[in-house]
Structure 1
C-alpha cells in the first residue's frame, strides 16, 4: 500500500496509509465481500486520499517524480549494479506514460488488481481501463524500441 501511494506522488505516504487503514477499519463491519474485494476497497480509498490531498494543496500535479517511484526500503542502493540499471530503465519507460496510464500499470502490476478492481479504484469503466492499459503497453513498446536504437 505504501509503495502504491508513494508511486502516485503522495507527499506523506506513511500518514496516508495510516489514514486509509483507520478509515477502512472504522467501518469494517459494513464490508461484505471477499479478500480481492477488500484489497480493491483499500486501494480505492488510498487513491481517493491522494487525489483529495492534491486538491487540498490547490494545485494539479501532472507527473510523479520518477525518483519517488522506487523510493522505498527496497531502493536501488541495496541492489547490485545490474539491478540499478534495470530500475533506471523501468523509470525511463514509466516516464513515457501519462498519469492515468501509469496508474493503470501500477495498479495492475504492483497492486496485482484485476481489470474490474482497477476500474473501481480509478472510478472508470472496465472498458476504459482496458483501453488505457492497451495504450500504455503500446507506448511502453514504442519507448523500449526507441531506447534500443
Structure 2
C-alpha cells in the first residue's frame, strides 16, 4: 500500500498541474517548477533515513514529476507550426526513447562500478535539474522572441 503513494502523487500532479496550466495558459514555469519539486524531493527521499519522511518526500516527488509530465507535451506543440507538429513530436519522442535505452544500461554500469545506487540517484536528479533549467530558459527565449518584430 505504501509503495502506491508516489504513484498517487504522480496522478495528482498530472491532473492538478495540467489543469492549472490550462487555466492560466502558462506552460514553462509549471513544468520547470514541477520538475524542481520532483527532483529535489527524490534527492531528499534518498538522503533522509528510511521512514515516514522518506515516504512523504517520495509522494511529493511523484507529485512534482507527474506535474511535469502533465504539462510537457503542450510545450512542443505550442512552439511548432501546425505542419511541423507531427515530425516535431516524433523527434522529441525519439530523443526520449534513446535516452531510455542509454540510461538503463548506464544505471547498471554505475551500480556495478560504485556498489550502490547513490551515483545513479544523483545523476537522475541532475538530469531533472538540467531539464528544468532548459525549460525555464526556453521560456525566457520564447518571451524574448514574442517582443521582436522581425
TM-score by length of 2: 0.31
TM score, norm. by length of structure 1: 0.31
Structure showing greater radius of gyration is 2
